[in-house]
Amino acid sequence: MSPVTPPWEKVLWKKQPYPDNYIPEGALDSSLRKNPNFKPYTYWPLVHLSTAITQHLATIFIFLCVFVRLKDHSLDPRVLIFLSLGCFFLGYLVWEVLQYTQNLGGSNHGNERNERIRLDRVKTFKSSILIFLALMSLSPVLRTLSAATSSDSIWALSACLFLLNILLADYGSSNPVIQGRHERLTSVLSMNAAISSSVVLASRLTNDLAVFALIQFSVQSFTLFPMLRRRLQAFSDKKPSTQAMQTLLTLILSISSFLLAIPLSSTIAFLVLFVLLAVTMLAPAVLVWAQKYKNEIRGPWDVAVPKLN
């Protein structure tokens, strides 16, 4: 009579009559899990999240159209300066309204809040004056910065810097002003890449006023506007009623980039329109469609994840 084989046990300290790689039949069936952390996406929330990318791309297209018009002297630099100042005051007004709305729901004392707002306004005013004077004094230097460099190298360098700006930009709603955190390193690198690209493009212009107007527009487009965009996005995440403002801003920037590109080249204008529509409408649809192919299997071979209270 043959001895009865003892049942297999999942222990290492006990010698068993089984090979080291032995797994009993059906041992894994009860512990297998398919897509345990999967949260399905829906289309319209993804479209809303993609508006930040659309706004950033539209801003770059608008900036490039403005540069081309300054270069061929079809746009007066003084008009651009006044338009930039108007956009700055409009954006600052929106910023103040959002800050006032945030403070209404805050728990800070009234005197502390008013003092902090006053200090922020004074700091903003001083910074604006310093940037304005610095750009005026540096415009002659920036105009001759790359005089010895060929235009082909300038176009290639500018394209690479704008591509780096797109890849490293912060499209989330994390705002250091609201959440008390510092800017991400990638966000700072993205901003520096955009400003550097603007500087090398401005060196192709012929007069100091045009250089000043373009750099001023660049600072507002790639430094100040992303801050306002993230604050709007943070408010739209908390209050769905403000999502209409985010949608309206996306439409304004997209239509402006398309209208500015049409006189330059109809082919480029429709290409810009296709890119913006693809990012806003097509990419979320592809992501929703691709969810059905997600197949992540979890089992006892995975590293244990500690559960913390």
User: pLDDT tens for residues 58-115?
Assistant: 999 999 999 999 999 999 999 999 999 999 899 889 888 887 777 765 555 556 767 7
Is 248 found in the same domain as 226? no
Q: Is the dihedral of CA 176, 178, 228, 135 positive or negative?
A: negative
Q: What is the pLDDT of residue 15?
A: 85
The tens digit of pLDDT for each residue in 8-32 reads 887 778 888 888 777 777 666 666 7
The tens digit of pLDDT for each residue in 28-56 reads 666 677 777 778 888 988 998 899 999 99
Is 272 found in the same domain as 131? no
pLDDT at 182 over 90: no
The interaxial angle of helices 151-168 and 43-71, nearest 10 deg, is 160
Is 263 found in the same domain as 151? no
Place of tokens 């693809």: 278
Is 188 found in the same domain as 90? yes
Identify the three-state secondary structure at position 297. strand
Q: What is the pLDDT of residue 65?
A: 95
Task: Count how many domains the chain has.
Answer: 2
Identify the three-state secondary structure at position 239. coil
Give 54's strand partners: none
In a domain, 2, yes or no: no
* pTM for this predicted structure: 0.81
Q: What is the pLDDT of residue 104?
A: 67
Is 120 found in the same domain as 85? yes
Q: In whole numbers, what is the pLDDT of the chain averaged over residues?
A: 84
- Terminal alpha carbon distance of the chain: 56
pLDDT at 290 over 80: yes
Distance from C-alpha of 208 to C-alpha of 138, rounded to nearest angstrom = 9
Q: How many CA atoms lie within 13 A of 231 on its CB side?
A: 20
Domain end, chosen from 219, 234, 249, is at 234
Contact 31, 299 (CB under 8 A): yes
Distance from C-alpha of 194 to C-alpha of 167, rounded to nearest angstrom = 11
pLDDT class for 122, splitting at 50, 70, 90? confident
By CB neighbour count within 10 A (0-12 exposed, 13-18 middle, 19+ buried), where does 139 fall? buried
Instruction: Select from 213, 194, 196, 204 the least CA-distant residue to 146.
Output: 204
In a domain, 209, yes or no: yes
Q: Is the dihedral of CA 72, 78, 79, 82 positive or negative?
A: positive
The structure tokens listed for 46 are 């993804």
Domain end, chosen from 172, 200, 234, is at 234
Q: How many CA atoms lie within 13 A of 185 on its CB side?
A: 0
In a domain, 150, yes or no: yes
In a domain, 18, yes or no: no
Considering the chain, what percentage of its residues have pLDDT values greater than 70? 85
In a domain, 87, yes or no: yes
Is 83 found in the same domain as 187? yes
Is 258 found in the same domain as 173? no
Is 209 found in the same domain as 97? yes
Is 254 found in the same domain as 181? no
Residue 168: other Cβ atoms inside 10 A: 18
Who wins on pLDDT, 240 or 10? 10
Residue 171: other Cβ atoms inside 10 A: 18
Q: What is the pLDDT of residue 175?
A: 45
Read off the DSSP letter of residue 178.
H
Q: What is the pLDDT of residue 70?
A: 94
Domain end, chosen from 171, 200, 234, is at 234
In a domain, 38, yes or no: no
Is 205 found in the same domain as 120? yes
Backbone angles phi, psi at 256, to 5 degrees: -65, -45
Containing structural domain, residue 277: 239-288
Is 275 found in the same domain as 128? no
Q: What is the pLDDT of residue 178?
A: 43
Q: How many CA atoms lie within 13 A of 264 on its CB side?
A: 24
Q: Per-residue pLDDT averaged across 186-208, rounded? A: 90
Backbone angles phi, psi at 38, to 5 degrees: -80, 125
Q: What is the pLDDT of residue 238?
A: 67
Q: Per-residue pLDDT averaged across 150-166, rounded? A: 93
In a domain, 187, yes or no: yes
pLDDT at 218 over 70: yes
Identify the three-state secondary structure at position 201. helix
Residues 6 or more apart in contact with residue 57 via CB below 8 angstroms: 166, 275, 276, 279
The structure tokens listed for 158 are 């500018």
Is 217 found in the same domain as 193? yes
In a domain, 67, yes or no: no
